[in-house]
Structure 1
Amino acid sequence: MLALICDDLAEDRRVLAEYCDRYGKEKKLKIQTLQYENAGALLQNKDVLKADILFLDIYMEGASGIDAAKILRGKGYKGTLIFTTTSREHYAEGFDLAAAHYLIKPISWEAFCKAAGRCNKITELEKKSIRVNIGRSELNVDVEGIRYIEVYGHKTIINTLRGEISVTQSLAALEQVLPRDSFLKCYRCFLINMNHVQRIEGDSFLMKDNREIPISRDNRVQIKSRYLDYMFSKMEEEKC
């Protein structure tokens, strides 16, 4: 999970980063945090649209948190937005921007946990299915039932437990809406659901339908490491 923290006060950024780390350890979640001291620096990051959670201070020098949120939503940001503030006067605007929560400063651990817990529920609901385009029509696809997605020629094909679906979205577009913890781009034209992998065989993933999917040579070590980390985390969760 990727959490971005944008606040012009270093102490407030530090507190939120510590809370994210503590929450991740308690909930057995891997939370990576990145910090920004103003909206301009945040908006310059090309990966901002991939963030799962964005903690955004409303009152900052230069562009406000509300301004930054409007720009990001306009660019298609679908992640969970949490405003941090010293005042409730922007509640209405936050509602328009689909903000999940407000955290009033100084932020307590209890308030943070309440916000984070609410965001987990929102994320779970959003990730049960994705909406895909099939020609001129649309279809909801169960995320857990997706084995892998491949680009073949000029087609993007989703392989599911119920069969194959040819969609008009690009692989990159689908990657942005699927859960980042369980889906892995292992090759330039393949995105796999790690829950449907049998094992690693040499330089390929053997899927549960016996399809062998290659692992990119350039990032082979990192890809294998991420898969093993994911499987280890699943085993640890099953013990609890």
Structure 2
Amino acid sequence: MIKKINCIIIDDEPSSQNVLEQFVKKIDFLELKAVCNHAQEAQKVIEVEKVDLLFLDINMPIISGLDFYKSLINPPLVIFTTAYAEFAVEGFDVNATDYLLKPFSFERFQKAVIKAKDILKQDEDKLILKADKRLHIIKFEDILFVQSLGDYVKVHTTNNTLTTYSKLSTMIEKLPSNNFIQVHKSYAINIQKVNFIEGNHLLISEHKIPIGQKHKQNLTKHLNNY
């Protein structure tokens, strides 16, 4: 069964916020993390919370919902909500999960949410990240390790290496904890891919990865479990 879907509402109209809040409360697998009045407020939430789904109004002050969504590096799923039907085509151009034209019924809202749930369930064993101006879908089992480079992370896979804008800690949260652990301030590894450990290093494929002193005990514990 899929875990709770963390969502936020981004809308500058209190009446629309209230409707969405009431609808979210009726769906047992939705977890509302925040209600935001504009994109800048939502950005702050996304930076500190794991967000799976946005209910995003398109016509908002300062920056439109579409422009805001396009600006996100590794965007969550989005269901656009708006009173303007002419935005629908552009909304689907950014791979929107669905588009709700105000006013919409609970039944129509529920249909959109179930679609988002199905997408997330399909992606439970995959990592979706933006690199090279594309969205890449990577199976967890194909990831060897991830490496921090300041504000960027390199994801090393069996086939290639992708660089994306992210913190290592944020990337680790997206990976299954039973297989992926941090072994150094700059590295997290897929335990299943370890060839051997020697001293303060381990080998994955041809890559020699350092083991930080404070991570050694946790690494040993996980390996013993295997």
Bucket of the pairwise TM-score, normalised by the shorter protein: 0.5 to 0.7
Judge conservation of contact 2:92–2:98 (CA < 8 Å) in 1: no
Unaligned stretches of 5+ in structure 1? 133-138, 159-163, 194-202, 213-240
CA–CA separation in structure 2 for the residues paired with 1:18 and 1:188: 44
TM-score, with structure 2 as normaliser: 0.59
1:134-213 equivalent positions in 2, closer than 5 A: 142-143=139-140, 171-172=168-169, 174-175=171-172, 177-178=174-175, 207=222, 210-211=224-225
Cα RMSD, aligned residues only:
4.4
Equivalent in 120, 127, 131 of residue 130 of structure 1: 127
- Which residue number in structure 1 is paired with residue 76 of structure 2? 79
SS at the partner of 1:81?
A: strand
Unaligned stretches of 5+ in structure 2? 130-135, 148-153, 191-216
Judge conservation of contact 1:49–1:79 (CA < 8 Å) in 2: no
Judge conservation of contact 1:130–1:177 (CA < 8 Å) in 2: yes
1:130 Cα shift? Answer: 3.4
- Which residue number in structure 1 is paired with residue 40 of structure 2? 40
CA–CA separation in structure 2 for the residues paired with 1:58 and 1:140: 27
- Which residue number in structure 2 is paired with residue 117 of structure 1? 114
- Which residue number in structure 1 is paired with residue 102 of structure 2? 105
Distance 1:191 1:105, change over 3 A: farther
CA–CA separation in structure 1 for the residues paired with 2:101 and 2:66: 15
Judge conservation of contact 2:128–2:138 (CA < 8 Å) in 1: yes
Distance 1:6 1:184, change over 3 A: farther
Distance 1:183 1:59, change over 3 A: farther
- Which residue number in structure 1 is paired with residue 85 of structure 2? 88
CA–CA separation in structure 2 for the residues paired with 1:185 and 1:32: 28
- Could you tell me which amino acid in structure 1 is paired with residue 67 of structure 2? D
- Could you tell me which amino acid in structure 1 is paired with residue 42 of structure 2? L
Name the % identity.
Answer: 26
Paired residue total: 181
Judge conservation of contact 1:149–1:191 (CA < 8 Å) in 2: yes
TM-score, with structure 1 as normaliser: 0.56
- Could you tell me which amino acid in structure 2 is paired with residue 97 of structure 1? V
CA–CA separation in structure 2 for the residues paired with 1:13 and 1:186: 39
Distance 1:48 1:92, change over 3 A: farther
SS at the partner of 1:61?
A: coil
Deviation per CA, 1:172-194, whole angstroms, max 9, x where unpaired? 363364479x999899869799x
- Which residue number in structure 1 is paired with residue 9 of structure 2? 5
Judge conservation of contact 1:3–1:31 (CA < 8 Å) in 2: yes
